[in-house]
């Protein structure tokens, strides 16, 4: 297996471990990510951190050698597999953080895009270079990138296939922060800015924000009214407001 899932304190850590191919995504590896996500969803983890083994690469994309000589039917099923696994990541009950330790190209960039947040090491490189192979992104890049950085910037990255360095990625909103090594302590410190809050409130807030780029303003506002009312009905909301009035830190229970 070329991934490793571990549980460390309140975090699930998913590491792609195929350094000899710069952590490129074979179909088997994508399936393993799917199974690991099911395990994460069933666990008590408060956040998922996704990273790549080694210092050079987060993930260099779909395995190009495997993509060759496939029938169109196999390609379609491959795209559907990648899209469904990355959608499962996007819909995970807990927030996820891509800890981008090097190259994040093609499917690797799309993996990072499907996470809730992205942190970049100074040497991180981002790109959707599929156009250079005569292809276009197949695991969600044409849909998630424009939602994140706007159509003009996404169009430029996808049509030129050019590499975006960490500084530019930060400037255009492709990543949330640049973090220095050692990366995992920096990533857990970042995640601890939200993991102490109520699990349901985090879930509702994510869902409401995600809805913003998928629907009209009026429908989005209706969703916000519904989800904020739902948040109000939780025990954690009672506790949060009570703790404020009593001038003490809240103790959230996730219900």
Q: Which residues are the active-site residues?
A: 110, 130
Q: Among residues 4 and 70, whose Cβ is nearest to ligand DAK? A: 70
- For tokens 């993991």, the residue is 195
Residue 129 CB contacts under 8 Å (≥ 6 apart), including other chains:
61, 105, 106, 161, 163
* Touching ligand DAK, residues 171-230 (CB under 6 A): none
Tokens of 120: 């970049």
> Residue of minimal CB distance from ligand DAK?
106
Should residue 60 be labelled a site residue for ligand DAK when binding is judged by CB under 6 A?
yes
**Cβ at position 68, least distance to ligand DAK in Å:** 10
Least Cα distance to 149 among 125, 120, 173 occurs for 173
Q: Among residues 74 and 229, whose Cβ is nearest to ligand DAK? A: 74
**Interacting residue with ligand DAK among 131, 135, 178, 184 (CB under 6 A):** 135
DSSP 11: E
**Interacting residue with ligand DAK among 11, 58, 86, 105 (CB under 6 A):** 105
Q: Which segments within the chain are labelled E, that is strand?
A: 3-8, 11-16, 47-52, 57-59, 96-100, 103-105, 117-120, 125-127, 164-165, 177-178
Q: Which residues make up the interface to ligand DAK (CB under 6 A)?
A: 21-22, 24, 60-65, 67, 75, 78-79, 82, 103, 105-107, 129-130, 133, 135, 138
């Amino acid at each position: 297996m070329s991934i490793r899932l571990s549980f460390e304190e309140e975090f699930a850590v998913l590491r792609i471990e195929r350094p000899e191919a710069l952590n490129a995504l074979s179909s088997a590896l994508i399936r393993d990510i799917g199974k690991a996500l099911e395990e994460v969803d069933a666990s008590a983890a408060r956040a998922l951190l996704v990273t790549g083994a080694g210092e050079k690469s987060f993930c260099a994309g779909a395995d190009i050698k495997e993509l060759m000589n496939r029938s169109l039917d196999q390609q379609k099923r491959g795209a559907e597999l990648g899209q469904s696994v990355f959608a499962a990541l996007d819909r995970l009950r807990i927030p996820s953080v891509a800890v981008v330790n090097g190259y994040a190209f093609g499917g690797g960039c799309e993996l990072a895009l499907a996470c809730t947040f992205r942190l970049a090491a100074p040497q991180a490189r981002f790109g959707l270079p599929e156009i250079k192979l005569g292809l276009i992104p197949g695991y969600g890049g044409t849909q998630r990138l424009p939602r994140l950085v706007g159509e003009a910037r996404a169009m430029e990255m996808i049509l030129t296939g050019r590499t975006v360095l960490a500084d530019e990625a930060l400037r255009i909103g492709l990543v949330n922060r640049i973090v220095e090594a050692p990366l995992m302590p920096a990533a857990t410190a970042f995640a601890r800015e939200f993991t102490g809050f109520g699990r349901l409130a985090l879930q509702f807030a994510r869902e409401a924000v995600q809805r913003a780029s998928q629907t009209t303003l009026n429908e989005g506002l209706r969703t916000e009214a519904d989800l904020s009312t739902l948040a109000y009905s939780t025990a954690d909301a009672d506790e949060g407001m009570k703790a404020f009035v009593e001038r003490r830190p809240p103790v959230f229970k996730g219900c």
